[in-house]
Structure 1
Amino acid sequence: MTRNQSLNRRSFLAGSAAFIGTLAAPSIVTAASKKLRIGFISPLSGPRASFGTSDQWMVETISKHLSGGLISGGASHEVEIIVKDNQSNMNRSISVGNELLLRDQVDMLLINDGDAAVALGEIADIHGVPTMSTMQPWQAWMFPRGSNPEQGFPWTFHFFWGADDAMSTFTRLWDQIDTNKVVGDFYLDNPVGNAFADPAMGLPGFIERGGYSRVDGGMFKIDADDYSGQVSRFKEAGADIVTGFGFPPHWITFWNQAGQAGYTPKACTFAAAFLFPQAIEAMGDRGDGMTTEVWWTPNVPFASSLTGQTARELADAWEAESNAQWVQTLGYSHALFETGLNALVQSGAPKDRAAVRDVFASTRLDTVVGPVNFADSPIRNTARTQLAGGQWRKSSGKHAFELVITENTLAPDIGVESETIALPQV
């Protein structure tokens, strides 16, 4: 799928105060220019499709907002965004990535999927294509590729919070509840799941260091549909808390099987599974009280460097046009385009891949998800973003459930709205 986008100076400046100084161009702008091609990869289908829910809408709205050409280096550049669905599949990611890099010869690659970023990172580095990704804890993006915080990569960059940020947030959520401090954990067998499951650096270590005891539920495959072993093990151990990592279909199946077995823990904090209101609604009344990492909500005090929209305005626009509740990934999809377009503009030479790469490395940008700061990061090629903790609560408003912030140690700019409470015991 291809979107031809308008990125013009007038609308760009009207919506982006952050760019005003750098986009001031001479009174005469060069008429002729070469087309800029941006490759965009997202999981629009498959098990991780929830993470791409707003992506096609995001491409279309940015296209409408930025119509007419991108001004950089005193010239107007037509921009084409080539959208690829990786179908939530690693092999498909490599296939469409190669198409973008080798056949379409994109000038920049934006990846809104962590597994795809891991799969394509080395390829992008080999071919010298500036690449920005998000939607995955930075450790699960960096370490599987054989690098470390001191080494980094030549052409690929990533912004997100760390797995350790989520894990420490989880234990602080549980500390607010009266439990027996017994935790059952199980994990999807993929790069993020393996990062969360790491005995020393992952959740098991945080569980033990937080004074909790652990019941190991092991790993599961992405197509798993039987969690009776975990349910039985956790119930027998009397685990008041269940945690781990997996996608909404995995948790919903587990939770249904737990209900059938009469297993009712006091807290459930399953990374990734509770990001989306649709997953909570699918559990009905039994979705009330689920706790989760909070990447982004309409209530964060941030605004887009690209459009000037506040987080609330962005969420309201999505809800009005999609007739669906806002999703956490909405903010990160938008911020991905913020960082990419900022680099093309700030480089002054958007066809010069090295110049664009250098802007990525020196970026300090206030986005709709908060500060994205590569310049001052102690982790090469990585910018850490803020993370809070929250709880889904039944609502009497326009949505069945609302996400309430209950923990903000790592996100002091985001206000706490309530204390965490235990799940209903039925």
Structure 2
Amino acid sequence: MSEKIYGAMDRRNLLKVLGLSAAAIGGSSALSGCSGLQGAGNATGSGVLKIGFVSPQTGPLASFATADNFVVEKVQEALRNGFMAGGSNRKIEIIVKDTQSSATRASSVTKELITQDQVDFIVGSGTPGTTNPVSDQCEAAGVPNVSTITPWEAWFHGRGGKPGEGFKYTTTFFFGMQEFADCFTPMWERIGASNRNVAALWPDDSDANAFRAGLTPLAAAKGFKMIDGGAYQNGASDFSSSIAKFKAENAEIFTCTPIPPDFQTFWKQAAQQGYRPKLATVAKVMLFPSEAEALGNLTKNIACAVWWSPSHPYTSSLDGTTARQLSDGFTEKSGKQWTQALGSVYSLFEVAVDSFKNASDPKDKEDVADKLRNLKTTGMSGPLDFTTGPQPGIALLRPVGGQWRPGTKFPWDITVVDNTPNKDIPIGAELGSTSA
């Protein structure tokens, strides 16, 4: 069962309460395969607020969800004593659903959360293939929702958002094409390329189409020319034609928005075919250590947007945990390296809790959705203001430029090399060439 429930009565305690042995009901389908209890025996009443969490924990987008279960446990720990909302103490139950990296499944598990689990709020993370179908289901059903790690244009325009109006129940926080341009172009300017041609590897999907339409004119305004390698289908295995085009145009700067497996294939083929740009600034990929390790030496100095790191000067609004403490806690418990998603996913729950707290009745979805759309808060992701974004219900982050460098404790680390968009973030090293 691809569902985990946090905050509910677990199997062992339920059996104790019922006075039954495990053998007596060992075959019960109501309990098997879950880390908590759904339905009967779960003391969920007016004092319990249920949050559904949808993310791609398996499949080609699984790197986006590496830290998800750890974050959920940390949120449950921070809220173990509950919080005041609507005049009484409330407890949180979190139900986690895995999309298996499928947009269709993202939609179906969201329906389950709404109709079967009857959640009060839904959060989602990890590219438009997750966030858009989740938000669509929430908007249709009137369930408050916040999402992250999707360019806002892909989320807003990809769902048919009306400019100036937005959505009633669904919101997002991340950044968009202007922020990508503000992050990438300072590095493009500094790398010393012989021309201003930028190779762009963009598939035919909602993420890449947002970049194709949005980043191209922003780059042109800075004097850069996008060399589009062609709108290929996700899952492609041969990028020779795109590589040949980039080489013919002598595009010494490179950018892209593929799914992670496709970038791995492209980058290896590019090296084999003699295409090594001076600077690669990538989006949607190379955000997580597992991808860096998979490329080995080809990882060095690949640049990406860094929206959260242990060195960000932000703290939890739930219990005061710092970014560094959250990062170190994840590594200590999992043995794995921190990922940028740690901060964003944590903030999903901060936003949900603040929306509950601000509502007169946290069980009133209309009230909670209104407070969500008008929320101003500060937490693990820094300041989030859903009232002044590019569209109603959108809060913007300000990413800085980072590059992958050989690490000490782990094979590769992201180091901030340009903080032009956000001077609050300290620089850790000088900008280097990807082809060095």
TM-score normalised by the chain length of structure 2:
0.86
1:19-34 alignment, distance < 5 Å: 33-34=46-47
Q: Which residue of 1 aligns with 2:168?
A: 154
1:178 aligns with 2:178: no
1:137 aligns with 2:145: no
In the TM superposition, residue 402 of structure 1 has moved relative to its aligned partner by 2.0
In the TM superposition, residue 348 of structure 1 has moved relative to its aligned partner by 4.0
1:418 aligns with 2:433: no
Q: Distance in 2 between matches of 1:348 and 1:358?
A: 11
**1:169 aligned partner, one-letter code:** C
In the TM superposition, residue 84 of structure 1 has moved relative to its aligned partner by 0.6
Q: Which residue of 2 aligns with 1:3?
A: 5
Runs of at least 4 residues off by over 6 Å: none
**2:316 aligned partner, one-letter code:** S
1:254-273 alignment, distance < 5 Å: 254-273=266-285
1:123–1:424 distance in 2 versus 1, CA, 3 Å: closer
Unaligned runs of 5+ in 1: 7-31
Q: Distance in 1 between matches of 2:410 and 2:67?
A: 18
Aligned-residue RMSD, C-alpha = 1.9
**2:334 aligned partner, one-letter code:** S
1:6-405 alignment, distance < 5 Å: 33-113=46-126, 114-180=128-194, 181-198=196-213, 202-377=214-389, 379-395=391-407, 397-405=408-416
**1:118 aligned partner, one-letter code:** N
**1:102 aligned partner, one-letter code:** T
CA deviation profile, 1:245-266 (whole Å, cap 9, x unmatched):
1132211111111121122211
**1:210 aligned partner, one-letter code:** K
1:252–1:377 distance in 2 versus 1, CA, 3 Å: closer
Q: Indicate conservation of the 8 Å contact 2:154/2:207, yes or no.
A: yes
Partner SS for 1:184: strand
Partner SS for 2:425: coil
**1:110 aligned partner, one-letter code:** V
Q: Which residue of 1 aligns with 2:33?
A: none
**2:421 aligned partner, one-letter code:** L
Unaligned runs of 5+ in 2: 9-44
| Count of aligned pairs between the two proteins | 397
**2:138 aligned partner, one-letter code:** A
TM-score normalised by the chain length of structure 1:
0.88
Q: Distance in 2 between matches of 1:284 and 1:126?
A: 45
In the TM superposition, residue 218 of structure 1 has moved relative to its aligned partner by 1.2
In the TM superposition, residue 318 of structure 1 has moved relative to its aligned partner by 0.5
Q: Distance in 2 between matches of 1:274 and 1:120?
A: 24
Partner SS for 1:219: coil
**1:406 aligned partner, one-letter code:** V
CA deviation profile, 1:92-141 (whole Å, cap 9, x unmatched):
11111111112222111111133332223333223211111111111111
Q: Distance in 2 between matches of 1:300 and 1:72?
A: 30
In the TM superposition, residue 34 of structure 1 has moved relative to its aligned partner by 4.3
Partner SS for 2:186: helix
Q: Indicate conservation of the 8 Å contact 1:109/1:129, yes or no.
A: yes
